[in-house]
A and B are shown apart, each in its own frame.
Chain A
């Protein structure tokens, strides 16, 4: 461990209860003040390289293996790029609605998983009036098992909601995980009446539970706003896809970026031209790239993606209950973008409700039983596919040679976009809560909670080679190891 610029490094590794693994380095200066934080990701995944040479129609099925939590995002983003390759980007109504149903199903299960299984232990065990005490609650209870013991109804809801989302995916993609439903230019199946009726059976229960999840997240945030607002928070730009009329649309749209007070940086940008607007920077200490808005440069052009960004960028949500929830959410910041890290949880639950409202709508749409499944047109050699994954905007970009082989792939996953924001969140938490040069259990947990708000999928942004124990190292500005703290 080499210390630079007269700073000390405090290392926390890995972050537990995020999908995948991470390590945190907090850099201190000689005065023991926090200068910077790095969510330190050195693992390398390599998908962009090893799909080169593979036939393009294989890619939507292959690249989704990046992740086991939201593979549907990669499956669909790649399929959307391949739609361009086969000239079938204008999908048939059945194909588009089947894909949307698959995507909403995935949103529902992924958001339920994150809120109930990963995040709720942080939110449920605080002392009255002191939410931050919950972040440092005994690790023996601050986990999903602890939630199940103290809040059994909630734990069951989380499991059943996740299951419901997976059932939607099964009936649209063919499998609950890593299906094959989306093919270049369309979809390989429709929704049978039997499948539709199966999904309709529990839909009202799911809507009801989603409403109550929004309420839990809202009440928690509003009740503790004073203490949560500064926690890991900072002003930032926000980016997402947006429908042409300004509505939130997680499957398809154009790019919109706004600054921290809501001024548009760009709007309705055709994502086939994303490279004109988004650049990527490489830093020596991480395999993750750092995307930025070109017009603002790498220093100021970083942005947030995901539920918070999407609720901030949207003019409205086109399902009634989620729209009502959005209005309440925006009222907290008087209609301006919400820059509170912990508000991600509330925004995520608004999207959960939106997803289930859309699923209900779609299940009543007869187009899902249509038989026109695939569109084809003029063959192209390049395609970009974007969608809003549960964790944020997902970019897939491919070039294909005349023999149908992939020759170039560029993926920007949501966690990569949230890379710098997570660093900022950790730095903020460390600045506010680090005292002295000792990492307390409490601080360690605070850092984790801040990162977890972003729901990072580190295995998706890169990949961990084996599991590491949680270790905290304190290194002084001359590079000497001062103390080590470990936790399993």
Chain B
């Protein structure tokens, strides 16, 4: 028996494999489904919901939803795009994101996503939450103002570094990333070479003293929109 699973994304027939998520199967077929919390190599998390698709009409996170024979997936429809746009909007207003001077600008996945979706400014009111920074570590700077709670650092530290430096504390609107120490990052065993320091999609976890070293025009998303590498594979 073949383990190929046939399903449809936006009217196109796709062959996935048993155990793949919709996002993975789509990607293998050169279809980019936007995502923020998902990162290849990390356990799927399903928290940001930017990868939301309609599966047989129901909203599902495509990064955690396995493919199934005969499902009909809607990804690029206006309805789905609007859901994603609203989620991105909310991520912006929930934190304090000042792209104009942020050193992650041009390399930031959240910013790149906003550009991809044509969001010049959020439609929801800014929340301006009061959040702090943790500059205690000699090599790593943490700015909670920009954290979108994607959990990449949490998963990378736990699963790839085997350290558990970061984790979530509190719930609901009070949820935040905390460190495995009394208060400061400097008191954890985080090392500058840890994977957890490389996975942040935004400017919340940064390597110190190297900001702006890449000139405007040469940054990751200056030339091509986020996701274009996956889409380019399809063209080939």
CB of A179 within 8 A of CB of B216, answer yes
Q: Chain A, 386-418, contact with B by CB distance < 8 Å: what is the 0/1 string? A: 000000000000000001110000000000000
> B214 to chain A: which residues have CB within 8 Å?
188
A55 with B212, Cβ < 8 A, contacts A61-B103, A403-B136 known: no
When distances are taken between beta carbons in the complex, the residues of chain B under 8 Å from A183 are: 211-213
Which residues of chain A are near B12, meaning CB under 8 Å?
none
- Chain B residue with Cβ nearest A379: B209
Q: Is B215 a contact partner of A174 (Cβ separation < 8 A)?
A: yes
Contact of B209 among A54, A86, A173, A175 (CB under 8 A): A86
Minimum CB–CB distance from A401 to chain B (whole Å) comes to: 8
**Chain B interface mostly:** loop
Query: Are the C-beta atoms of A188 and B136 separated by less than 8 Å?
Result: no
B215 touches A57 (CB 8 A): no
CB contacts (< 8 Å) of A178 on chain B: these are 100
B208 and A180 contacting across the interface, CB-CB below 8 Å: no
With A61-B101, A65-B101, A404-B141 as known contacts, state yes or no: A188 contacts B135, CB within 8 Å: no
Contact between B211 and A57 (Cβ–Cβ < 8 Å)? yes
- Tell me which residues from 177 to 192 in chain A have a Cβ below 8 Å from any Cβ of chain B: 178-181, 183-184, 188-189
Residues facing A in B191-229 (CB within 8 A) are 206, 208-218
Query: For residues 44 through 99 of chain A, which have their beta carbon under 8 Å from a beta carbon of chain B?
Result: 53-55, 57-58, 60-62, 65, 86
Closest chain B residue, CB of each to CB of A174: B216
CB distance from B102 to the nearest CB of A (A): 8
> Would you call B133 an interface residue if the criterion is a C-beta within 8 Å of the partner chain's C-beta atoms?
yes
Interface residue total, chain A, C-beta cutoff 8 A: 25
B214 CB to closest chain A CB, in angstroms?
7
Residues B103 and A58 in contact, CB atoms below 8 Å apart = yes
- Docked complex: A158-201 residues within 8 A CB-CB of B: 173-175, 178-181, 183-184, 188-189
Please state if B212 and A57 are interface contacts (CB–CB under 8 Å).
yes
Contacts of A405 in B (CB 8 A): 133, 135
Chain B residues within 8 Å of A173, by CB: 216
What is the distance, in angstroms, from B100's C-beta to the closest C-beta of chain A?
6
Instruction: Please tell me if the beta carbons of A404 and B103 are within 8 angstroms of each other in the complex.
Output: no
CB distance from B56 to the nearest CB of A (A): 46
- Expressed in whole angstroms, the minimum distance between the Cβ of A102 and any Cβ of chain B is 12
Asked if B216 and A175 make an inter-chain contact with CB atoms under 8 angstroms apart, the answer reads yes
Residue of A nearest to B98 (CB): A62
Of A58, A60, A189, which contacts B215 at CB under 8 A? A189
Given A53-B133, A57-B209, A403-B136, A174 and B217 contact (CB-CB distance below 8 Å): yes
A57, closest chain B residue (CB): B211
Minimal beta-carbon separation of A191 from chain B (angstroms) = 11
Given contacts A174-B215, A183-B213, contact A62 B101 (CB under 8 A): yes
Question: Contacts of B213 on A, CB cut-off 8 Å?
Answer: 183, 188, 374
List residues 63-114 of chain B with CB under 8 A from any CB of chain A. 100-101, 103
Q: Is the CB of B215 within 8 A of A55?
A: no
In contact, A404 and B209 (Cβ under 8 angstroms)? yes
Q: Which residues of B contact A404 (CB under 8 A)?
A: 135, 141, 208-209
- 4 more contacts with CB within 8 A, not counting A57-B210, A189-B215, are A58-B211, A181-B215, A188-B215, A404-B209
What residues of chain A have their CB less than 8 Å away from a CB belonging to chain B?
53-55, 57-58, 60-62, 65, 86, 173-175, 178-181, 183-184, 188-189, 374, 403-405
5 closest Cβ pairs, A-B complex: A174-B216, A403-B135, A189-B215, A62-B101, A180-B212
